[in-house]
Amino acid sequence: MRKLLPLPLFLLIFFSCRKDSFITSPDARVTLSADTLHFDTVFTTAGSVTQYFIVRNDNDQKLLISSIRIMGGVGSVYHINADGTPGPEIQDLELAPNDSTYVYVNLRIDPNTDMLPFVVRDSVRIAFNGNEQFVQLEAWGQNAHFFRDKVVSGTETWTNDLPYVILGSLNVSTSGLLQIEKGCRIYVHADAPLIIDGTLQVNGEKDSIDRVYFQGDRLDLPYADFPAAWPGIYFTATSHDNLFQYAVIKNAYQAIAVQDPSINANPKLTLRECIIENAYDAGILSLNSTISARNCLISNCGKNLVLVKGGNYLFE
């Protein structure tokens, strides 16, 4: 005599078995959280931030992602990682019903001879059940001069052929003179103070393209606009005859810090037509020193635009 299962129990077993099986139909649905990942300027050799997109199984059965692949293969500047497995290709990735996985993407660009920024493109292919979907990848690459724990002990001139990326620190020694010509861009890492024991002369000009810019080296949003992205510029007791013309100093912790009187009759620091903005603490901090500033804009600083104690100052 045959026994029939109660209907509720039968349905429970039926749907449980269905969820444990793989959907093989080409009508299976997958949702991607983005169709394109854009990376802001990436300096060669430095590497990028890591971005991600999400692959979601929108079906009520398990789905086998047969391949997640960087189309440029092993030669691509882009690198992926999905479910803890690095690329360039991840195969046979199982997704439970209505589950998802993160695909992480970053890149590292080798130096080349290009002077101007250049576009680097690739794509990630997601293949399942005979279907293919793609996420486009796009970044701007930029060659640069890289300096780590650099010391300027003589006379040195920077020109605007390529940006300058400062890692570790930059020190102009007591015998050093660093001259920065118009149009230079200086990008400073989060742990890299600019310490001036000698002389720093910044010779920008009026047009925006000819100004000299100092800022952090994180150019991806929202970090490109964060204060305290880099420590700032510090003029020590022995520093003298420093000049900033048409410079823009932004997103530092303390943009400019000056200590002790000038060792000669000239101001320790002269500022002409400069912009200091978005400092976390102070735009200018000075203790017992001498500063001459004319037609400068200091704005949007977290605690003080200008904080001075002792010394001689001329702001006009």
How does DSSP assign 131-168, residue by residue? Answer: EEEEEEEEEEEE--EEEEEEEE-SEEEE-TTS-EEEEE
Residue 8's pLDDT band, with cuts at 50, 70 and 90, is low
| Predicted local confidence at residue 139, as pLDDT | 94
- Using CB atoms within 10 Å of the CB of residue 2, give its burial: 0 to 12 exposed, 13 to 18 middle, 19+ buried: exposed
Report the distance separating Cα 135 and Cα 30, nearest Å: 13
Say which CATH superfamily domain 28-141 falls into: Immunoglobulins (2.60.40.10)
Residue 1's pLDDT band, with cuts at 50, 70 and 90, is very low
**3 pLDDT exceeds 50?**
yes
**206 pLDDT exceeds 80?**
yes
Joined tokens for residue 47:
């590497």
Determine the distance from the C-alpha atom of residue 245 to the mean position of all C-alpha atoms in its chain, rounded to a whole number: 27
User: Is the model more confident about 221 or about 104?
Assistant: 104
Joined tokens for residue 103:
């695909």
**Percent of the chain topping pLDDT 70:** 94
pTM above 0.85, yes or no: no
| Mean pLDDT along residues 278-292 | 97
Residue 167's pLDDT band, with cuts at 50, 70 and 90, is very high
| Predicted local confidence at residue 241, as pLDDT | 98
| Predicted local confidence at residue 15, as pLDDT | 52
The domains of the chain are located at 28-141, 145-315
Residues 180-197 have pLDDT tens digits of 999 999 999 999 999 999
Joined tokens for residue 88:
């360039």
| Mean pLDDT along residues 115-138 | 95
**13 pLDDT exceeds 80?**
no
| Mean pLDDT along residues 215-224 | 88
Average pLDDT value for the chain: 93
- Domain 145-315, CATH: 2.160.20
**271 pLDDT exceeds 80?**
yes
Task: Among 1-10, 109-118, 132-141, 230-239, name the one with the lowest average pLDDT.
Answer: 1-10
| Mean pLDDT along residues 46-72 | 95
